[in-house]
Structure 1
C-alpha cells in the first residue's frame, strides 16, 4: 500500500482539513486547524507534502520522525499543527486498513466511559448561575468557564472581585455535588494569578486553567502551584511532550495537549505517558478543531492515567460539548458510529427504494429557529423512524447548546461532519435566509436529502438553482412551511373541495405581530426596501396559506403604511397584499407588526356562497381549529380538532422523513416554495412601483 496524494481543504472561517489517499482505496482524514493561522499551516503542509507520496502509510512513526526532525529548524505551532493533521490522517488509514478502531492500535481500551464537562462561557456573565444549571440538567457533573473577558495583566481590584463573584454564582448554582473549572487563558501576570487562585480556593474549583501565558510558565508556574491546594492545568499552546516536561516538573497536574497542535495522536500519546510519570492527568484539549475532537478520544479511552472512580474520576476530555456533545458513557458512540471515528464505514445515505430502520439527520443551524426545532421535535420520541446525529452552526455556543441538549456531537460546518465520518442521510436546514442556497446545494451534492426552513431562498434565481438541483438529484427536498401541515388548513381544503362552502367569492389572511424590532430588522430577517425583511419570511408564509386555499397566484399588488408608535422601536408598519388567482378569485393578506395579537386568531377566512370558513391559529394554547359558519349556524361549527401552531414543527419533519422512507413527494416541495417566493417578490416589487399589480410569471422568469 502506497500514499498517492496529500490534499488540504481550508473551510471558512478558520478550519483546515488534511486528506491522505492511498492506492488501496483507504483515505485518511485529519485536522490541522491553528486558530487564526490556517493559511500558515497550509503553507507548511505544502512544503511537507512531497515527502509522503509513494511511501507506506503504515510507517506512521517513521513519517512522524522525518516530518518533525528532518529539517534544521524544528517545532513551533505552525509545523506542529501541520504534522498533527498528517499524523491523524495516517492513523485513520491504519484503522481502516486493519478494520479496527484506532484505540485498539494503541493497546486497546482501558475504560468504557469518560467524564466530561460543559462549557458555559463567562465573558459576558449576565446570569452564569442559569448557564451553569443547564449542563447540570443535561446530566453533566461539571462545567468550565472563563475567568472574564476584560482581565488584563494587572487586573483592578474590581475586576478581581468580579472573577471571585462569578465563581461564587456558579458554585451556588451547582451545589457541592458538582464541579466547575475556571480558565484564565493566560491573561494575567503571575502575581495577580497567585492572588486570584488564593481567593478562589474556598470555592473549590476542579482546576484553574492556564493561569499565565505559556511563554511565562517556565519562570512562574512553580510559584503558583506550590502555595495552593488548587489543581493547575495548562498545555493547549504547548507543541511537544518536551515542552510539557518543565511544566510538569513545576507541579501542573492536568496536562492539556491539543490533538491538532501538539503533533497528533502520536505525540499526544507520548505526552500522556510523560504526564503519568508525574502523577498528572492527561486531558486532551480541543475547543475549536472540530474533526480533531473525534481524534482526541483514543487517548483518554486508551490511556490508564488512573482507573476511573464510580463518578468518573477527573476529566479526560477537555470541553465535552465540542468534543462529544454531552456526558457520554460510550465516547465512540458520540462520534456517530458504532466503532470509532477512525474506522468508520462511511455507509451511504438512504438509497432510493430501500426502507431504513431509521433516518439519520444533521441539524444545520442552531439559532432561534433551530433551537426551537431541536426542543420541539428532536427531543421527542420518533417511533424509531429518525434521530438527530449531529448539530451544525458556525457559532460554537449555539451548536454546543443543541449538542448538549440532544447528546450529539457539534460541528461548525457540514464539511466538518463529512470529514469526521459521521454517518447521516439527511440535513434539516434552519439557517438564515441568504445561506439557504449554498447549504442546500452542498448537502445535495453530498447525496443527502434536504429540508429547508422557509422561505426557500432570497432570490428567484437562487430558488431556481435549488429546484433544479433537487429534481436532478433524485433526493427528497422539502420546505418547512407550517400552514399546509395544520389540521385546520387541511380541513378547510377538504370543505372547499367538497363544496361545503359553495362558490368561493374571496379569501383573506391576517396576521398581527408583537415581535420586537430584532425580528424585523436584524440580519436574520433583513431585506431591502420597506418591510421586505419581514415580508420575505412571513410573506412567503401567507402566500403559501393563500395558495393552499385558492390555488395558483398569478399577480400581486402591495401597499404599506406607517403610523407613529409609542414604543421606542420606530414605527408600526402595515402591509396589504392583493392577490389574483388563476381561477379568477381575489384575495387579501394584511400584516401589521407592533400591533396587539390575540391568543386565537382567524388567520385565514374563506368567503363562500354557502358558508364562511375561518382558519384559526393558536400560538399559546391548543385552541387552533377550522370553523364553518353557514345558514342556521351563526356560532359556527368546528370542522377540525384543536391544535397548537407549533405542533406543525414536528409534523413537517415527520412528513419529510416519511417521504424519504416511502420515496414519495413531501407535502411542500422546493417547487411549491419557489412559487410562494416568486409571489412575495412580486409584492416587494409592487411596493417599489406605486402598488401596481406585478405578474408572478414575469418574476419567476427573472
Structure 2
C-alpha cells in the first residue's frame, strides 16, 4: 500500500477555521482524515501540509511512527505550532487508514479501551466568542452555566479571569471571587468547574486569584500564566491548593520534559491537533502517568478532532476529562458522517473501523475559509497597552 497524495479542506466555523486533511492511498476507496486546525494560522497550516506532501507520497501509510519521524526529523528545522499541527493532522489520518485497513476502531490499535465511556466538559455560550471570553457579569454567567448543565454536562469551563497587568489591586481579585462564588451557589456542589486563566496573569496575580476562590473548589485552574516559563507555573502550583493544569500551547514530547521533571502541574492538556497526533499524545500521557498527573486534552476544534480525542481517551489510563465545543455552529454535524454519539456529557464507544468519521465534502465546501476574528487586537489596558487575552 502506498500514499498517493493529500488534500486539504478548510471549513469556516465562525469562531475558527477547521483544517481537515485527506490522505489518499493506491487502494480504491481507502483514505484517512485528520485535523490540524490552528486558530489565526489557517493558511500557514495549509501551506505546511502541502510542504509535507512530497515527504510522504510513495510511503506505506501503515508505518505511522516511521512517517512521523521522517516528517519531524527530516524537516531539519525544529517544528513550531504550525509545523506540528500539520504533522498531527497527517498522523491522525494515518491511524484512520490503518484502522480501516484492519477493520477495527483506532482505540483497539492503541492498547484497547480502559473505560466504557468518556466524560466531557464544555464552554459557556458554545461558539459565541464574546460569551466564552468576555462574560464578566454574574447574571449572564449563571444563565450560560445552567444552559450547559441542562444539556446533561456535569462539568463546565469558565474564562472570566480579569485581563491583568503584572500587579493589580484588590478590586479585580474581589470581583473574580464574587463571580465564582455566585456561580458555585447557582450550580451547586456537584458540578465541576474549571477556570481557564488563558495565560492572562502573572504568578503574583494568579496566586491571589486562585487563593480567593479556593473555598469554592474549582476542579482545576488552567494555564494561570503564559506557558513559556515553567518555573512561573511551578511557583503558582507551589503556593496554591487548587489543582493546576497546563499544556495546550506546548507542542511535541520535548516541551513537556521540563513540566514533568519539575512536577510543575497536576494536570497536563496536550492538544492532539498540535502535539504531534495520537501516538505523540500517548507518549506524553505515559510520561505523565509516571508523575501521577492526569490528562485532560485541549480540544475546542472540529469534529475530526473530537473523534481523535475520543479514541485517545478510551485507551489512556490517566485520562481525566475531555474538552469539547459541540455547539459552536448549528451545522457542525452536517459536514461529517459519523455514528459517534454523546449523551448527558459523555461520549459512547465507537464501533466503526478507523476514527469512525468521514467528511461530507460537498457540505463542507458550503462553508469556505474566512478570516477569523482577531480577538487579541481588542484586549488593551486603560492606557492602551496590549494585555494577554
Partner of 1:418: 360
C-alpha separation between the residues in 2 aligned to 1:329 and 1:320? 13
Partner of 2:383: none
- 1:439 and 1:268, CA in 2 relative to 1: closer, same or farther beyond 3 A? closer
Work out whether residues 100 and 343 of structure 1, in 8 Å CA contact, stay in contact via their aligned partners in 2: no
1:74 is displaced (CA, Å) by 1.5
Work out whether residues 180 and 216 of structure 2, in 8 Å CA contact, stay in contact via their aligned partners in 1: yes
- Partner of residue 283 from structure 1, selected from 255, 273, 296: 296
C-alpha separation between the residues in 2 aligned to 1:264 and 1:326? 26
Residue 50 (structure 2) pairs with residue 46 (structure 1): yes
- 1:15 and 1:241, CA in 2 relative to 1: closer, same or farther beyond 3 A? same
1:325 is displaced (CA, Å) by 5.7
- Partner of residue 321 from structure 2, selected from 316, 320, 323: 316
1:70 is displaced (CA, Å) by 1.2
Residue 100 (structure 2) pairs with residue 100 (structure 1): no
Residue 135 (structure 2) pairs with residue 124 (structure 1): yes
1:153 is displaced (CA, Å) by 4.2
Work out whether residues 99 and 109 of structure 2, in 8 Å CA contact, stay in contact via their aligned partners in 1: yes
C-alpha separation between the residues in 1 aligned to 2:257 and 2:364? 48
TM-score (norm 2): 0.81
- Cα RMSD (Å) of the superposition? 2.5
Q: How many residues align?
A: 341
1:140 is displaced (CA, Å) by 1.7
Partner of 2:219: 206
- 1:327 and 1:236, CA in 2 relative to 1: closer, same or farther beyond 3 A? farther
Mind listing any 5+ residue stretches in structure 2 that lack a counterpart? 125-131, 329-340, 368-389
1:276 is displaced (CA, Å) by 0.7
1:156 is displaced (CA, Å) by 4.3
Partner of 1:186: 199
- 1:69 and 1:84, CA in 2 relative to 1: closer, same or farther beyond 3 A? same
Work out whether residues 225 and 252 of structure 1, in 8 Å CA contact, stay in contact via their aligned partners in 2: yes
Residue 269 (structure 2) pairs with residue 264 (structure 1): no
1:275 match: secondary structure:
helix
C-alpha separation between the residues in 2 aligned to 1:244 and 1:294? 24
- Counterparts of 1:221-620 in structure 2 under 5 Å? 221-248=233-260, 249-305=262-318, 315-319=320-324, 321=326, 327-332=344-349, 338-339=351-352, 342-343=355-356, 418=360, 442=366
- Partner of residue 24 from structure 1, selected from 22, 27, 43: 27
1:17 is displaced (CA, Å) by 1.3
Give CA-to-partner distance per residue, 1:166-211, whole Å, 9 cap, x none.
2112111121122111000001111111111111111110000000
Give CA-to-partner distance per residue, 1:251-298, whole Å, 9 cap, x none.
311111001111011111111111111111111111134421221111
Partner of 1:557: none
Work out whether residues 18 and 86 of structure 1, in 8 Å CA contact, stay in contact via their aligned partners in 2: yes
Partner of 2:385: none
- Partner of residue 18 from structure 2, selected from 15, 19, 34: 15
C-alpha separation between the residues in 2 aligned to 1:273 and 1:251? 16
C-alpha separation between the residues in 1 aligned to 2:153 and 2:365? 37
Work out whether residues 295 and 341 of structure 1, in 8 Å CA contact, stay in contact via their aligned partners in 2: no
Partner of 2:208: 195
1:157 is displaced (CA, Å) by 2.8
TM-score (norm 1): 0.46
- 1:69 and 1:160, CA in 2 relative to 1: closer, same or farther beyond 3 A? same
Work out whether residues 117 and 314 of structure 2, in 8 Å CA contact, stay in contact via their aligned partners in 1: yes
- Partner of residue 215 from structure 1, selected from 197, 207, 228: 228
- 1:240 and 1:156, CA in 2 relative to 1: closer, same or farther beyond 3 A? same
C-alpha separation between the residues in 2 aligned to 1:84 and 1:78? 10
- Partner of residue 137 from structure 1, selected from 111, 135, 150: 150
- 1:230 and 1:80, CA in 2 relative to 1: closer, same or farther beyond 3 A? same
Higher mean Cα deviation, 60-69 or 12-21?
12-21
1:292 match: secondary structure:
helix
C-alpha separation between the residues in 1 aligned to 2:86 and 2:235? 34
Partner of 2:71: 67
1:328 is displaced (CA, Å) by 4.6
Mind listing any 5+ residue stretches in structure 1 that lack a counterpart? 307-314, 347-416, 420-437, 444-702
Work out whether residues 129 and 172 of structure 1, in 8 Å CA contact, stay in contact via their aligned partners in 2: no
- Partner of residue 189 from structure 2, selected from 176, 180, 190: 176
Residue 164 (structure 2) pairs with residue 160 (structure 1): no
Partner of 1:36: 40
- 1:325 and 1:162, CA in 2 relative to 1: closer, same or farther beyond 3 A? farther
Work out whether residues 123 and 148 of structure 1, in 8 Å CA contact, stay in contact via their aligned partners in 2: no
Partner of 1:5: 5
Give CA-to-partner distance per residue, 1:298-348, whole Å, 9 cap, x none.
111101117xxxxxxxx4212364697653544345xxxx4366145x6xx
- Counterparts of 1:66-85 in structure 2 under 5 Å? 66-85=70-89
